[in-house]
Copies of this chain bind each other. A is one copy, B any other.
């Protein structure tokens, strides 16, 4: 990721862009060679509009298959850009599985990534081998065993707070894996889906899907509640088999101070 600049360079305007996407057909947010990514689609469309190469900074780097209903990015564009038309033109250029919700120009030092206080996700599971509805399948992970929502909540509550989440982070790049998990709880909705609400100051790579995998293990009786505490204490990696798939995960909100 390019170094963030505090303010836009002279002659440039900083835009905050709120967007939503169905991540099914993308290899995640971040640009990668020979892969279709959300970042590349957005930057290509922005470059077409501004006639100028652009680099976006994102609040939550979503993994392959992960969706967003409340993603936030910022981008610096030439100050001659017609900002009022940018939302409409972006939605014309982009495929229907990416939609721009809001574009505002800012004269502050707003940074989509570094100004963010917290990120909120939901994770949706359909358990007990129920048949997934074709029209509501995009953002749901199917699971074969029945899961107890009370045990899911008990196990999830053990993870809340500031911890070193090394055991739940797939790649360690030497930087800290200490995070503050603000919220992690489950409901079973009236249609039978299990829905987790998960928020933290920030997440490491694959952390949400690891957290979901860990509490599911407990809820289906594979491990006891003690195992959760032991994982946190020992920092032993959660086995790969327990990383839940991206399709069930949606970034729903990014919180900034006040009205930033």
Contacts and interface: CB of A to CB of B under 8 A. Distances in A.
Q: How large is the interface on A (under 10, 10 to 19, 20 to 34, 35 or more residues)?
A: 20 to 34
B134 A96 contact: yes
A69 B20 contact: no
A72 to B, nearest CB: 16
A206 interface: no
Contact of A69 (B69, B91, B96, B135): B135
A96 B131 contact: no
Please state the number of chain copies in the assembly: 2
A99 B131 contact: yes
Interface in A114-147: 131-135, 137-139
A101 interface: yes
Contacts of A22: 134-135, 137
Contacts of A37: none
A97 interface: yes
Contacts of A137: 22, 96-97
Contacts of A67: 134-135
A131 B100 contact: yes
A7 to B, nearest CB: 30
Contacts of A101: 131
Contact of A135 (B20, B91, B132, B134): B20
The 9 closest A-B pairs by CB, nearest first: A22-B134, A97-B134, A99-B131, A21-B134, A135-B139, A20-B134, A22-B135, A99-B134, A135-B138
23 contacts: A20-B134, A20-B135, A21-B134, A22-B134, A22-B135, A22-B137, A67-B135, A69-B133, A69-B135, A96-B132, A96-B134, A96-B137, A97-B134, A97-B137, A98-B134, A99-B131, A99-B132, A99-B133, A99-B134, A100-B131, A101-B131, A135-B250, A138-B138
Given A96-B134, A99-B131, 20 more contacts: A20-B131, A20-B133, A20-B134, A20-B135, A22-B135, A22-B137, A67-B135, A69-B133, A69-B135, A91-B131, A96-B132, A96-B137, A97-B134, A97-B137, A98-B134, A99-B133, A99-B134, A100-B131, A135-B138, A135-B139
